[in-house]
Each structure stands twice: as structure tokens, then as C-alpha cells.
Amino acid sequence: MKRLFLILCLLLWSSQAWGAIAIDAVSTGSGNQSGAGYSFTHVTGSDPNMLLTCAAASGNSSSENFTITYNGTTLTKGRDIDFGDNAQLEQHYLSTNMGLSSGSHSVVVTGSQTGSGVICVTFSGVDQAVLYDTYGDAHQGGTTSSITETGIELTGDGNWGVSWFAGTQASNPLNNLAPADGATNVAGTPITDSGSSLSIGFSVVTGTKSSMSWTFDSGFTFAHLSTAELVAATGGGGSNAAGAVSRRRTQ
């Protein structure tokens, strides 16, 4: 009986010590970000360990610098991927501890160029002290039909891999855009931008993984891929530290 009691206590402690990451809500928007910009609505749940991530993509050849706010609070830029071509990708984030508000609020997107698309996703159960580990970025141009980022270190420990994609074609949005490697497509949207057609996508993957890939019909001009690892909350909500950091990994 004593051994059984100890086992039950251990199982109870384990279930409380490790949280479970889950997708809370997804929203998308597109438009002209110059001047007053554009806005769309995103609904955030009330979990104490929430993380809002927004990926903004533009097909302009000139460098872009997006500003994204949610309920008036400016998101922090985590990644800025610009290889000097006609596909740019930025990732911004805001956590509960950084002032993320629950409920239905406006996402406002502004910038210096014209034409962009944004995908916003809120996750629950994300560690607030260390939000995510960031991996390097992948870039590809030409007429092949896939792009892959290596060096991913998902070990099946409850953390999630998240992948942001942006690509352009001369005439039509990328066809049959889909994440590979067992990832789940969360959201994707095509937009028209300055004569080019831009597609952006977002996917998640769990379990053990060493790479992230996207596949699509050939004929694209440029494609960018950025992947990060969301860190699961620990201690049954006790991860709500005063600040939050993003650890970066270099390839």
C-alpha cells in the first residue's frame, strides 16, 4: 500500500509539474500596412500561461519593419528574416506576463511598405519565463517544390515546434502549400502585393523531430522558413516569472 501511495503521489506531481501546450485561437488579416495600417480581431483565452505569436510577411523588395499591436500593446519582434529579395518574414510575440489581454481585441498592423499578410496564433500552457527556443532560418529561391530547415532539436518532451513560412510567385499564390514531416497546418493565406503574389503559412509539430519542411507546387520565386520551439509551462502555472525571454539558437 505504501508503494502504491508513493506511485500515485509521483503521478500526481508529474501531472502538475508539466503543462500541456495547446492552440487557443487563430486569426488572419491582410492589407496595406502603410499609413494607418489595417486591423483584424483576435480572441485570446484566459489561461495564465498564454502566448500570442503573429507572423507578418511582405513581398516587397525594400526592407520592411512591421509594428504589431494587440489591444494597444506592442508585440516584441522575435525574428526578422530579410534576405534582400521579394519575400520578407517577421515573427512577433506577446505573453501573459508581458501584458497580453484576454478577450476579443484588435490586432493593428503598420509598416512602411504596401501589402502584407499576418497570421496570429495564441497558445496556452507556454512557459512564461522562457517562451521559446529560436532556431535558425531557411531561404530558397528557384523552381523547386520544397524548403527544409534542419538543426531542429525536438525531443518529445512536451515542447512544440512552430514553423512560419512566406513565399512569393510572379503571378499566382503558391499552390498546394502544405507543411511536411508530420506537421499540422494551422493557418495559411494568400495575398496580392505590389504585383507579386504572396503566401504565408503557419504549422505546428510535436514529438521528436530534427527538421521542418514545407512543400508546394514548383515555380515559386522566393521562400523563407523560420522555426522555433515553444517551451511547456512547468509547476502547474508556477512559471509566471516577472519577465520573459526568448532563447536563440544558431546553426
Give the model confidence (pLDDT) of 194-242 as tens digits. Answer: 555 677 778 887 878 888 877 776 666 777 888 888 989 975 443 444 3
Give pLDDT, residue 101: 94
Helix (H) or strand (E) run with residue 124 in it: strand 116-124
pLDDT interval class at 157 (50, 70, 90) = confident
Mean pLDDT of the chain: 76
Cα of 192 vs its chain's centroid, Å: 21
Nearest partner of 120 among 26, 225, 227, judged by Cα? 26
Q: For the chain, state the CA radius of gyration.
A: 19
DSSP-assigned beta bridge partners for residue 238: none
Length of the chain: 251
pLDDT at 190 over 60: no
Give pLDDT, residue 246: 58
pTM: 0.81
Q: Residues 101-107: what's their mean pLDDT?
A: 97
- From the CB of residue 71, how many other CB atoms can be counted at a distance below 10 Å? 17
Rounded to whole angstroms, the Cα distance separating 164 from 166 reads: 7
Give pLDDT, residue 47: 94
Task: Please give the residue that has the higher pLDDT: either 60 or 49.
Answer: 49
Q: Which residues contact 10 (CB under 8 A, 6 or more apart)?
A: none
Give pLDDT, residue 14: 34
pLDDT interval class at 83 (50, 70, 90) = low
